Amino acid sequence: MPKNKLQRFAELRTFANVHEFLFNERENNFKLKGKWNKEYFKNNNPIVLELGCGKGEYSIGLAERYPNKNFIGVDIKGARIWRGSKNAQEKNLKNVSFLRTQVEFIEGCFEKDEVSEIWITFPDPQPNKEKKRLTHLIFLNRYKNILQQGGIIHLKTDSLELHEFTLEVIAENKFTKIYSTADLYSESNFGENWAEATELKTHYEKLFTDKGKKITYLKFQL
Ligand SMILES: C[S@@+](CC[C@H](N)C(=O)[O-])C[C@H]1O[C@@H](n2cnc3c(N)ncnc32)[C@H](O)[C@@H]1O
């Protein structure tokens, strides 16, 4: 690991807006489980997660748009979270935080009904490992255990395969599809969430659109 990366890892542990819940802790619950608002954000605002957040463009962009909501970007990669955390600090955003963990442990980090909405932004499509896809039923059942009734899940991806796979999971399990497009930027305004779906762009989204790839978007409830 380059020195710079090691320094960033050490620094990451000092950032007040970053939390870690790692593999060796998974037998216990995370210390803020059920207490994110009371002990960290110190308000009663709705909590929105960005899963596989990378550098957290959605968490930060949404936090700026919605000061009365709390945003938590979740990713396992410390270097990416370091960047997101720094960007949030530079913007002095108090309603955004980052959690370094695997999404597999999400139920250890949040209490039932603690989360009101989830964004999944450009997750690894996992072409050969269906069960590792963040929209596999195994993961959706985990989200069900932390999401409030009627909580919305948004998926943005460049992978048509992952988009279609998720549509199948929704249909097979009688979940509620609210909006789906295989080519987001060819659509006209579809109403609620249009602005954030089209105006916020992540690091990976920019890489994919530069290559001419179409971006898909899916909004659903469990
Ligand atoms: C393709 S990147 C997208 C990052 C960012 N959302 C973007 O669009 O720029 C996928 C991210 O998901 C994270 N990730 C993948 N599987 C994960 C898991 N099971 N738990 C936590 N993070 C995961 C990776 O570390 C990576 O940062």
Give 177-215 pLDDT, tens digit per residue.
Answer: 999 999 999 999 999 999 999 999 999 999 999 999 999
Residue 65: what pLDDT?
A: 97
- Minimum-distance ligand 1 atom for the alpha carbon of 122: 8
Structure tokens at 205: 């989204």
147: three-class secondary structure by DSSP: strand
Domain span holding position 211: 3-221
| Identity at 79, one-letter amino acid code | A
- 135 CB less than 6 Å from ligand 1? no
φ, ψ of residue 122 in degrees (nearest 5): 50, 55
Q: What is the pLDDT of residues 14-40, one digit of tens each?
A: 999 999 998 778 788 999 999 999 999
The secondary structure of the chain in percent helix, strand, coil, rounded to multiples of 5, reads 40, 20, 40
The whole-chain average pLDDT of the chain stands at 95
**pLDDT surpassing 70 at residue 2:** no
Task: Indicate the pTM of the whole model.
Answer: 0.96
Residue 14 identity: T
126 lines ligand 1 (CB under 6 A): no
- C-alpha–C-alpha distance, residues 60 and 64, integer Å: 6
Q: How far is the CA of 54 from the centre of ligand 1 (A)?
A: 5
Q: Cβ–Cβ contacts within 10 Å for residue 99, how many?
A: 27
Q: What is the number of structural domains in the chain?
A: 1
Helix (H, G, I), strand (E, B), or coil: what is residue 130? helix
What tokens appear for 67 in the block? 């000061």
For 48-90, write each residue's pLDDT tens digit: 999 999 999 999 999 999 999 999 999 999 999 999 999 999 9
Across the range 105-117, mean pLDDT stands at 97
Q: At residue 1, does pLDDT exceed 60? A: no
Span from the CA of 103 to the centroid of ligand 1 (angstroms): 9
Give yes or no for residue 92 having a pLDDT over 70: yes
Q: Which of 6-15, 45-54, 121-130, 201-210 has the lowest mean pLDDT?
A: 6-15
Residue 87, domain CATH: 3.40.50.150
| Catalytic machinery residues | 124
End-to-end CA distance of the chain: 41
